[in-house]
Amino acid sequence: MSLYYQDDQVTLFHGDCLEETDWTTADVLVADPPYGIGWQQSGYSNGRPHPGIQNDEDISTRDAALKLWGTKPGLVFGDIRKPFPNETRRVLVWKKPADSGLQGSTIWRKDWEPIFRIGNWPQRPAVNSSIIPTGAGSHRSYAQGVHPHAKPQDVLQRLITLCPPGIIADPFTGSGSTLIAAKALGRKAIGVELEEKYCEIAARRLSQGVLDFGESA
């Protein structure tokens, strides 16, 4: 377990989020954990296959992390085919780019994913749609060369803008998209990432400052 990157707003640890629990001291969770679907892909990124990500065999890692988080507010990306997190209060919809969900689909594309709103949130008027679209033109524009499951900055910034105040936690940092979105909005954030290759990518992107806050992040 080690501190991998730090600046005035963001702290990133390299290690296991079930062991490195500093992230649980934050105020709001915005996380993209392994979906538990055993994802792999041949031909990802210009014909190069991707072997998958760690702890994606089932949802046990996700659920163990959320148990550590407790009942504080959070937003968690996931897969509609898997059981919802225990603290789910509402399901939002991320509407993916037009080129998404073609592989293995029949008639209808798999072009949306659930975002689980978990924990206790402050009461506010329901003036926001539960459907969160992206202006990114393609999945490739924000994921290629970064992480196969990276989320676009406009979606993450929209979600974080509507979160309660305080420090953002992402115990499944990946290539750092959530931390970058929080930093762009002036929010402090703390992340943990298990795979060092993604820590390296996240640290590089975070160190680039505003240069990496566009749709391609």
Distances (CA, A) of 164 to 49, 70, 121, 168, 185: 39, 16, 8, 10, 13
- The answer to whether the beta carbons of residues 110 and 139 sit under 8 Å apart is no
The pTM score is 0.86
Classify strands 131-133 and 88-95 as parallel, antiparallel or unpaired: parallel
pLDDT confidence of residue 205: 94
Place of tokens 């060369």: 145
Tell me, what's the pLDDT at 144? 55
* pLDDT above 90: residue 210: no
State how far the Cα of 123 lies from the Cα of 138, in Å rounded to an integer.
35
Q: Shortest CA distance to 21 belongs to which of 51, 66, 57, 60?
A: 66
Q: Which tens digit of pLDDT belongs to each residue from 141-194?
A: 555 556 677 899 999 999 999 999 999 999 999 999 999 999 999 999 999 999
DSSP state, residue 84:
P
Check residue 212 and give its pLDDT.
Answer: 47
Q: For residue 20, name the pLDDT band (cuts at 50, 70, 90).
A: confident
Confidence (pLDDT) at 213: 43
**Predicted confidence (pLDDT) at residue 64 exceeds the cutoff of 80:** yes
Do residues 156 and 177 make contact, with C-beta atoms less than 8 angstroms apart?
yes
Domains of the chain, CATH where assigned: 2-212 (3.40.50.150)
